[in-house]
Structure 1
Amino acid sequence: MVQQDAGRLNNILTHLIGDRNRETTALLAVLAELLDDEPAAQLRCREELAGRDEQVPQWIPALSQVDVYRAVRRSDVLGDADVIVLGARIDGEHELTVVVWIDHTTLSGIADAGVVPKPIDKFLARVTERSIDTDVVEMSLADARAWIENALTKPTFAPETERWPLYRALVQWLVRRLPEGGEHRWQAMDWPEVEELCDRFFATDSAAPFTDSGHRELLLELLDDVRDPLRWSAARVEHAIGSAHQYDWIPLEVALDAPDLLRAFIPFAHAQSGIRDELTLRVLAGVDALRSSYKREVLKEAEYWGYLDAG
């Protein structure tokens, strides 16, 4: 655990120890089971519990017998996030659904997590009713472990929720009880496939205005990302053209075409990935909103580096 998280955990424990009631006793008992990778914090919880003459619910000591029996990945169709959903059963009776949100808008770290005291099938049925723009895939438990462990190593710049520092211990504890040997293969296309995709795009009428050989190099730069090149969101557009990008090997007049090139490519890509037109139009509106500012910034950088003629 990083020092910042350890400090938060110590503050949480201090607060719980100073508040003596049945609820905090139960929570300390839960943490005493979960913090098996933090021996000092675990000992602190157990010493406090030993000094409290209170009963805790029977399911808490049974946490060590948790059975995680199902894993599902819910992916945003535009590629901004994956949500790993784990179905667990405690003491053969109490159902629990654990939800881990992986944010791909920056570095694919965990932005949030949550726990729902109901079976996973009921949870999934409820959220499916409210979201049509999501792909749902069954996962092996080993793959779920690989995905979550990979995300735990990544920083995230999304605003941290109040829940995540507390749920981190639960997620790490639960993941350690999943089988090892899974795979985390998130990159949708290998580089030769991306190059072939570019070739197909430039063979369409939509690419007719982009005749310079540098346009292909520019599109490849825009697609140089582990994310699926067939899925574009407003956040991904912002990352791609939200600021000026100077490519020394691409002519300035070609670099200025990046917004227009994306505006032509995104409908082509979304048509192949089955993304509905309404979502595509929203993303294109984001491209239009950034077009002028992007070109101003590119010209400003070009002037600064002396790429513009003195005249």
Structure 2
Amino acid sequence: MRDKRRERKAKQARRDVRRTKKRALKNRAEPTLVEIVRRAIARGHPAYLLDLASRAIRAARRDATRLDNILTNLIAMPDPEMTALLTVIAELLVDDPAQQARCRRELSERCRYLPHSITAPQVTAYTAVRRTHVLGDVDELVIGARLDTYEVTVAVRIDHNMLSSVVDSAVSAEPIDKALARVGKTSTDTDVVEMNLADARAWIEQALTMSTFVPETETWPLYRPLVQWFVMQLPEGGSHRSPTDWAAAAELCDRFFTTDPAAPFTDPGHRELLLELFETGSGDPLRWSEIRIEHAIGHPYYDDTYVPLEIVLDAPDLLRAFIPYAHAQSGIRDEVTGRTIATLDRLRTRYKREILGQTERWDLDDAG
């Protein structure tokens, strides 16, 4: 009996110890902002402090007055860590000259003891490449640069199914060759080509101006202030992404309608429909991905202004005939084309049902 009582007491004591540890972990204070900044500085590369400052700015801008309040609090804190953070925030506020000037006035007497890489970072971009999947949905611009003597790589992802807007970015405290080798291990069907630094700036700046709904990721739009600052360090005068050559697209369309796969599509409206479908996604008529198909016919809207209903209903079948023809000309593997066709087949019935449903609702409205 006594042994059982001692055993119960021992179990209770062990439970009490575990509960105490859990309470201690739960009640452990979160790191302070000073500690977070100190850790970023201690990592020995300015990219980590740039990362932190960019996140702070973007988070603050969720509210119209929050950035002003945060800067007021930072200005009131003369700690070396807060001075370092305020200095980098001031660098990244390239789109807010008034707040940038406010920070710099405060910092003019503070920064004499901070490292040069924080107070006056010298950014030297030396190479840029463009990584593009063969289906053309996304361009990833990767830029190698030095912050003083520190190597850094910045990648900016532009999604052409989202109106060619920036949808993600990454900053890596490593040389560009190492970064490209790392991502190359998991990439397939991707072309990598060198790019002019001025062109890279033009592409990214244009993509940053596109107004569209972009789902948030762990890094976007948190890195937007950093990307805006970084691209301003690149040379100006570059060329934007080339628009679709619609004359060449029309010629491609005409050639397709002379082939056997196009034989069932004899109405002139089929040509108009195909040209309209060319305008989806990247606008490249030779490259069709699963995502582009989702955008093109996944959520259809019928407008009988230009193309009759019986022609619009043929869109999935027309694409099913055209895509293998287009991909054969652009050298895309059959396996990749097969995935696109599978998506097209999956959406075919739903597309036609939704189009017919819309026309029925219109007929009811007209009858009323």
TM over 0.5: yes
Pick the structure with greater CA Rg.
Answer: 2
The residue aligned with 1:272 is 329
How many percent identity over aligned positions? 61
- 1:20–1:80: structure 2 CA closer, same or farther, 3 Å change rule? farther
- Choose the corresponding residue for 2:254, options 199, 212, 231: 199
Q: For residues 46 and 131 of structure 1, what CA distance do their matches in structure 2 show?
A: 43
Q: Deviations over 1:191-250 (max 9, x none)?
A: 221111111211222212222222212111111346211111122112211223333332
Q: For residues 287 and 345 of structure 2, what CA distance do their matches in structure 1 show?
A: 18
Map 1:1-311 to 2 at 5 A.
Answer: 7=64, 9-10=67-68, 13=71, 25-46=83-104, 56-63=114-121, 65-91=122-148, 93-187=149-243, 189-225=244-280, 227-242=283-298, 243-306=300-363
Report the secondary structure of 1:181's partner residue: coil
- 1:55–1:285: structure 2 CA closer, same or farther, 3 Å change rule? farther
Alpha-carbon contact 1:81-1:101 (below 8 Å) kept: yes
Report the secondary structure of 1:267's partner residue: helix
Report the secondary structure of 2:117's partner residue: coil
- 1:210–1:15: structure 2 CA closer, same or farther, 3 Å change rule? farther
Report the secondary structure of 2:237's partner residue: coil
Report the secondary structure of 1:59's partner residue: helix
Alpha-carbon contact 1:244-1:294 (below 8 Å) kept: no
- 1:36–1:300: structure 2 CA closer, same or farther, 3 Å change rule? closer
**Structure whose residues are more often helix by fraction:** 2
Q: 268-277 or 139-148: which moved more?
A: 268-277
Alpha-carbon contact 2:132-2:139 (below 8 Å) kept: yes
Q: Deviations over 1:109-137 (max 9, x none)?
A: 11122210111111112212210222212
Q: Kindly report the root-mean-square deviation, in angstroms, between the aligned alpha carbons of the 2 structures.
A: 3.1
Letter in 2 for 1:266: I
Letter in 2 for 1:97: T
Gaps of 5+ in 2: 1-56
Q: For residues 247 and 14 of structure 1, what CA distance do their matches in structure 2 show?
A: 57
Alpha-carbon contact 1:9-1:166 (below 8 Å) kept: no
Q: Which TM-score applies when normalising by structure 1?
A: 0.85
Q: For residues 11 and 154 of structure 1, what CA distance do their matches in structure 2 show?
A: 29
Letter in 2 for 1:299: L
Q: For residues 167 and 236 of structure 2, what CA distance do their matches in structure 1 show?
A: 23
Q: For residues 260 and 200 of structure 2, what CA distance do their matches in structure 1 show?
A: 42
| Superposed displacement of residue 182, structure 1 | 1.0
